[in-house]
Structure formats: C-alpha cells, structure tokens
Structure 1
Amino acid sequence: MTGQARLMRVLGPTTAYLVGLGVAIGSGIFRTPALVAQELGSPAWMLGAWAFGGLFVFLSGMVSAELATRFPEAGGEYVYLREAYGEFVAFFFDWGYSVFIIGGGAATIAAAAGEAAAELLAVDPAWAKPLAAASVVAVVGVNALGVKAGAGLQNVLTAIKILALVAVVGAALALGEASTDWGRPLVLPEGRSLVAVLVAALPPVLWAYEGTTDAVKLAEEVEDPQRALPRALLGSALTLTVLYVGANVAYLLVLTPDQMAGSRFAANDVMATLFGEVGRRLMTALSLVVFLGALSATVLATVRVTFALARDGLTFPIMARMSKHQAPVPALVAVGGIAALFTLARGFQQILNIYFLAAAILFGLFGFVAYVVMKQSEMAKEMASLAEQINRAEKKG
C-alpha cells in the first residue's frame, strides 16, 4: 500500500461474519435451485451439488483467511494479486473485477430484485428492468452515507434473510407432503455426458455461495482482523452450507424435482403450496428484502477493490476519495452506474452468464495467489536464515 492514510477500523467481528452471509444469501438460493433441478433432477445429486458448493467455499475461506491475515488491507483479492504478481497483473484484474464482478454481480442480484418487485406489484414483467436499476440507485445512496450506515443496513437485512430461510425450512418440515422420490436416479439427457451436466449444474450452485469471503475486502476496516476474519470466513461458510442444504431439503419436502425445475422462485412456490396466495405474496416480499440485502452487502464490500486500486495510483484518483463517514462515494457511483446499465440492457440469466465467463478468467488467475505468496514467504525465511548464518560466520572470522 502507498503512504496514504489507512482507513479506520470501525467494523466489529459480527459485521465481518454477517458480510459474508449478507452477500451470499440473495438471488442464488431463491432463484437458482430451479436451474440445478433442471440439470440434475435427482434429489440426491441436487443435495450433493449444494454440499459440494459448501465444501468448495469452506476451502476457499481457508485460503482467503490466510491471505487476509497476512495482508489486512482494503481490496481483498486485488491486494493479494498485487503482492504475488505485481501491479501490472493486479491492474488488469481490478479493472475486470470492477466492471464484470462488482458491476455484473450487483446487476445479477438487482435483476432478481426487479423480478420480485414486478411480481409483488403485479405490474408488467417489462418493469423488472427499471425496478432493478432503481434498486441499485437506492442501495448506492444508503452506502454513500458512510460505512457504518451501509454496514448497519446490511446487518439488519441479513438477520431478516436468515430468519426468512429458517421460516421456510421450518414450515416445510412441519407441513410438507410432496411425493418426492428421494432415491430417484440421475438420468442423463441423450447426447450429454455426466461432466457436461455437472458443468451446467454447478455454476448456479457456486453463484449462491458467491461472496462468502467478501469480508476480506473490508479487512482494513475490521477490528483485530487476525482473529476476526478467519472466524468470520469459516463461520459464514459453515452457516451457509447448513442453510442451503436445509433449504433444498425443505423445497423437496413440498415440491417434486420436476416442480422445482419449473419454478422461478422455489421458496415462493413452497409458501404458496403451504399457505396459498397469501404465502406466495409474503414470500415474494421477503425475497425482495433478501435481494436488497445481498445487493447492499455486495456494494459495501466489493467497492473497496476499486478504492484500493485508485489509492495505489492505478486508476482515476477520484475513486480513492472517502467521505468524512468513510464512504468511497465516487467509486460507489461508478460501479453503481455500471450495474444499473447491466440491469437495463440484460435479464437475470444473461447477466449471470456474463458474470461467470468473467469470473472463470479472473478467479482462475487468483487461484495461484496463495501458492505464490507462501512460496515468497518461504524464500524470505530462507534468505533471512542464510543472512544470519553469514553474519555469524563473519563474527567468528
């Protein structure tokens, strides 16, 4: 990091934990189970895919926790790439990240929020896009009030989201009567291999877990990051795995795999089956809260990457400006504008496809960071040991 002043550590361990949950619990667990059911169809394979996603994000959390404690700065992956590969690689990563991961990721969540809002308001589906853009503007506005305001909003919305998921699971366990064949085997469509089916099924699962480690981007603002971040990252990964596998079990207690495959929002259809139209509208309203919470947490955490790039002098200096309440307003406006444009130009599935194409490239680059950083650390220790031995030999001489 350059010689510019560090950010104030004003976020406690609870916020660090809830950020991961807040970013992840959004359009994924409500919108993508249908996509997984369409590809797999077998309850055992469906639940296995969600459990695999949990294992993947837990292992990712272990790597991120190690890197975050070594480099507790704002920016997360950008900082680790800078340390491992230098500013040139980090520069290209961050530009792609700001446009496609922050902008595209926020737009994907906002698109789902727009769909939910249009359904709740009973308006033409064409209104989903402008409603999605409006949700981006609203969330950016709240986060522009300051880091504490943004964190407070996402903490409250995250608590509501967890309660909503738990309520759906509880209702399904108590009242679900679906004739789901739990032993139904996986039937591969003609002309498609198992690998092809899994390649199609796993991205929606991983999207639902996406953001679990985003607390690392706030590392410079978290109190006692060496202790708080590992606990937050691994704790949120375990919590999400339990919630997501439990939610899919609940869905299957009420809906058959074929019914899930035809559902836009599985949780909404579960509540509609159990409680009628009142249940559907209630769950649609809760879904909207869930999506807005995920959008708020995403903006709060990921915009720190753009801020860090600007602070290092690798993009427009204005992006590094912080308000007196520690809000990177210019960076918020920039990424919010990108997200709003995405929502107006494309729908949920199209934005999700763009997101995953960019993610495959950018996070593939990030995959070797831990290895490179640890190798550098080992080399530094070896050089220090060698220097000490030479120093001792000179003294004896």
Structure 2
Amino acid sequence: MKSEPTEFKPSLRLIDATMLVAGSMIGSGIFIVSADITSYVGSAGWLIMVWLITGFMTLTAALSYGELSSMFPKAGGQYVYLKEAYNPLVSFLYGWSFFTVIQTATIAAVGVAFAKFTAYLIPQFSEDLVAIDLGFFKISPAQLLAILVIVLLTYINSRGVKSGKAIQTVFTLAKLLSLFGLIVFGLIYLDKDIWNSNWTNAWDLKPITGPSGSDSFHYTFIAALGAIAAAMVGSIFSSDSWHNVTFVAGEIKNPKRNVGLSLALGTIIVTILYILTNIMYTSVLSLQDIAHAEKQRVAVTASHVIFGPSGTIVIALMIMVSTFGCNNGLIMAGARVYYSMARDGLFFSKVSTLNKHAVPGFGLWIQCIFASLWCLSGKYGDLLDMISFVVVMFYILTIAGIFILRKSRPDVDRPYKAFGYPVLPILYIIMGLAFCILLIIYKPKFTWPGLLITLAGIPVYYLITKTKKKEDLTNNRST
C-alpha cells in the first residue's frame, strides 16, 4: 500500500510564482472599485493618487516580505513570519482572522463578482433574482453560482498543485493580455473633451454624491483624509493577496530567491497596469459616468464606449476569466496556512496531513465550506471594508517584525534584505496606521466587526492550548 506524502513537492518555477502573485491580485476589483473611489474623491487626479498610494504601499510591503521569505522559505508564509517575530498567539490570531475573514471572505467576494459579470451575459444569474426563498432568508442565483465555482476550483486544487498551477498560469496570462488590450484601445479612442473636462481642476477633492454631481461639496481637511482612507478600501482590496505566494513557499523551486523575486515582479506588473487602467477610464468616461456606472461595472461601461455592444460582451468574458483565475490562486494558497497552523496544534489535526496528491486536501474543503457560507452573506462592498482593515493591520505587524528579527535573530541567513530599510518599512507602518485609524473613525460599521472577529481568537487560542496541554499530559501519563 502506497503511503501518503508527508512533504510538499517543489514544482513551481519563478514564472509560476509570479503568475500566482499577479493572478491573485487581479480579480474583480480593478473592474469595479474605481466607481466607489471616484464617488469619494470626485477628481481624476485624486483617483490616480489613491491608486499610486496603494501601489506604493503594496510594493513597499512586497519588497519587505522578500527578506522574511528568504529567512523562512516554508509553507504558511505570513503565519510563520509572525510566529518567528512575535509568539504563537499573534500568529494564531492571524491564522484565525485569515480563516474567518481574510481569505475565505475574499474568495467569496471574488466569487460573487464572477457571478455579477456572468449575469451581464446570462441575466438568469442576476443577484436581483431569487433562486431559493426560505421566508426569513433568500438566496440568489448569483450566490449559488459563486458557491459552485468555489467548489469546482477546490476540487481541481485537491487533485494536486500541477492542475492548479496550469489554470493559474493560463488564466493570469489571459487576464494580463485582456487588461493590456483594454488600456491600449481605450487610450487610442481617447475623447479629448472628456479628458480635458476630467483633468481640469484635477486636484479638486470633493465627493460625488448624486447622479448629476450637483449636490457635491468640499471636504474639510480632516474629512478629506477620511475620504481618502475610505476610497483606499477598494484599491487595497484590489491590490491584496500578493503575499499568497509566500504560503506555497514549500512548493517553489529555489524559494530563497524565487519567492522574493516573484513578489517584486508580480506587484510591479499589476501596479503599473492598475494605474494605466484608471488613466484609461478618465480618457473615455466622465467622472460622473465612472462614479455612477451601472452596478459599479466601470470596465464594462468603458468597453461599451470603446468597442460598442459586442466589445462589452468580450470584456465581460475576460473579467469572468480574471475572477475565475484569481479565485484559483486564492484557493490554492489559502489551505497552506491552515496546514501550518495544524502542524502547530492550533487547527484541526487532520488538516496537518497531505493527501495522495501532496496537497492539504482536508484544509481545502474546510476553506471551501466557510467561503461558501460567506457567499450567502451577499454584499460585496461589506466584505471589502471588513477585509481591508484586518489585512492592513496584520501587514503592519508583519513588517514591524522585520525590525524585531533584525535585533533578536541577527545571525539568521538573509539572502535578500528589505529594500529601503529602515525608511520604506517605517513609512509603510505610518501609512498603514493612518489608514486603519481613519477607517475606524469614518467607516466603523464594517471595520469594528473585523477587529472583533480577530480579538475573538484570543479565548479560542487559550482554549485550544489548554486542551492540547491536557492531552499531552494524559499521553505522557499513559506512556
């Protein structure tokens, strides 16, 4: 009888790792969230600035993570870094938040977005329809489709990393080419009147609160900072998940080199594409059209202007490809964190084993169930707010961990050191803290729940460790 593998197989090349970074980042956000951002900032200059700030923060964090990935090239990524820099409680709170909110809710949000664009082509999948009516609870066809996609991708990834890798590379290349094509054709068909209108008074920061924009007003200084932070929720969500490649470090060839390099390459490619995409939006759509795009589908509105009705269908298909590929990367990487937690005795023990295809199959299916439950919660924007706050909070802690490890473990081999240290990591920490504080003040409805879910992990941690100690004591006595 053939025994099941106990170690991951290094089978991902640099190109595969880079495609995982880029593919996990580019999902649905870039095609949707510019509507929300524009409604907050009300100007072309600040629309681009929000993406520039987010891109700077993302690239700074990715370059900082390069040092950590070269020190600890293990499955689990950020969970491992936090454990090494702090203690098991901090890393558990990350893993707990990752499972309950960060990864599973992101998978759900991208799944719901896939369904939104499918509904553009097949109206029967609309989120406005009711597929199942339980009286107190209604389920739409969009929610069911999102769950179906998550189940399908989970099954594919449970069959081994080779299948997931092939999907990731093909779908990421397709989305990069389609996004690049949209940018090129959009700039070719630039409307000078729209461009001049958008870029006149480009730094006039004000909200767009009505379809006509007539009821717009100017912010006070403090309110302006809050508006920028609120606007960044969408751009941060759209730029997130770049660190998923660190979770599969145990399956990457030459991880000490390739993890950090893939982080840099992937985030640079995506940041440039995001900024160019938004410049393209301002070349073909008025700010009012961007802010009030139907169901926030800015890319579909722009492609309709550029290509006409037939082009819109093609772009909708490309966006479906994008979200499908994005969810593949998220699902592939996520289960590796639960695997590392289980190996530490902080998650279901069965998750610490690999199936016959050398992947954590049980962890994949638990993730699938929880993400499916999130799909039933429904609202894309609500998930954005909750996820962005918790994600940045743990990024700050992880990057601060670089300073801690430089002092506590100076002798550990560091094939790569954080670019711009200590200036850039400090700058990220300051910007991240400002973002989190402003978000708590100006968008508390969905930031506090995310924080409370994270803190709820504290009693869970002590309950698990107490139970584990009792089991260890009982086992020692029996032997």
Q: Which runs of 5+ in 1 are unaligned?
A: 382-397
Asked if 1:32 is matched to 2:33, the reply is yes
Amino acid at match of 1:32: V
For residue 99 of structure 2, what is the aligned residue in structure 1?
Answer: 98
Q: What's the secondary structure of 1:327's corresponding residue?
A: coil
For residue 130 of structure 1, what is the aligned residue in structure 2?
Answer: 144
- Do the aligned partners of 2:72 and 2:81 also contact (CA within 8 Å) in 1? yes
- Do the aligned partners of 1:114 and 1:135 also contact (CA within 8 Å) in 2? no
Which of 193, 200, 213 does residue 243 from structure 2 map onto? 213
By how many angstroms is 1:364 displaced? 4.0
- Return 208-217 or 364-373, whichever deviates more: 364-373
Q: Deviations over 1:317-363 (max 9, x none)?
A: 11122122222111111111111111112211122222234324444
Q: What's the secondary structure of 1:322's corresponding residue?
A: coil
Separation (CA, whole Å) in 1 of partners of 2:57 and 2:37:
17
Separation (CA, whole Å) in 2 of partners of 1:327 and 1:379:
33
- Do the aligned partners of 1:114 and 1:132 also contact (CA within 8 Å) in 2? yes
Structural mapping, 1:128-277, within 5 Å:
128-177=142-191, 179-180=194-195, 181=197, 182-184=199-201, 185-188=203-206, 189-190=217-218, 193-263=223-293, 264-277=296-309
For residue 115 of structure 1, what is the aligned residue in structure 2?
Answer: 116
Separation (CA, whole Å) in 2 of partners of 1:146 and 1:233:
23
Q: What's the secondary structure of 2:188's corresponding residue?
A: helix
Asked if 1:312 is matched to 2:327, the reply is no
Separation (CA, whole Å) in 2 of partners of 1:190 and 1:62:
37
Asked if 1:15 is matched to 2:16, the reply is yes
Q: Which runs of 5+ in 2 are unaligned?
A: 130-140, 207-216, 414-479
For residue 65 of structure 2, what is the aligned residue in structure 1?
Answer: 64
Q: Deviations over 1:46-99 (max 9, x none)?
A: 112112211111110111110000000000110011111222221222112111
Report how many aligned residue pairs link the two structures.
378
Q: Deviations over 1:191-223 (max 9, x none)?
A: 652111111111111111101222111111111
Separation (CA, whole Å) in 2 of partners of 1:186 and 1:283:
31
Q: What's the secondary structure of 1:16's corresponding residue?
A: helix
Amino acid at match of 2:194: S
- Do the aligned partners of 1:176 and 1:253 also contact (CA within 8 Å) in 2? yes
By how many angstroms is 1:5 displaced? 4.7
Separation (CA, whole Å) in 2 of partners of 1:300 and 1:186:
43
Separation (CA, whole Å) in 2 of partners of 1:379 and 1:288:
47
The structure with the greater share of residues assigned to helix is 1
For residue 294 of structure 1, what is the aligned residue in structure 2?
Answer: 326
State the identity as a percent. 25
Asked if 1:74 is matched to 2:106, the reply is no
Q: Deviations over 1:342-395 (max 9, x none)?
A: 1112211122222234324444433422121222123889xxxxxxxxxxxxxx
What TM-score do you get using the length of structure 1 for normalisation? 0.91
By how many angstroms is 1:308 displaced? 1.0
Q: What's the secondary structure of 1:212's corresponding residue?
A: coil
Separation (CA, whole Å) in 1 of partners of 2:284 and 2:412:
57
- CA separation of 1:292 and 1:58: change in aligned 2, threshold 3 A: same
Which of 355, 358, 367 does residue 323 from structure 1 map onto? 355
- Do the aligned partners of 2:6 and 2:354 also contact (CA within 8 Å) in 1? no
Separation (CA, whole Å) in 1 of partners of 2:289 and 2:147:
30
Separation (CA, whole Å) in 2 of partners of 1:190 and 1:229:
45
- Return 348-357 or 168-177, whichever deviates more: 348-357
- The CA RMSD over aligned residues, in Å, is 1.8
By how many angstroms is 1:156 displaced? 0.6
- CA separation of 1:6 and 1:375: change in aligned 2, threshold 3 A: farther
Asked if 1:359 is matched to 2:391, the reply is yes
Separation (CA, whole Å) in 2 of partners of 1:379 and 1:146:
36
What TM-score do you get using the length of structure 2 for normalisation? 0.76
Asked if 1:350 is matched to 2:382, the reply is yes
Q: Deviations over 1:132-151 (max 9, x none)?
A: 11121111111111111111
- CA separation of 1:322 and 1:43: change in aligned 2, threshold 3 A: same
Separation (CA, whole Å) in 2 of partners of 1:329 and 1:351:
26
- Do the aligned partners of 1:260 and 1:266 also contact (CA within 8 Å) in 2? yes
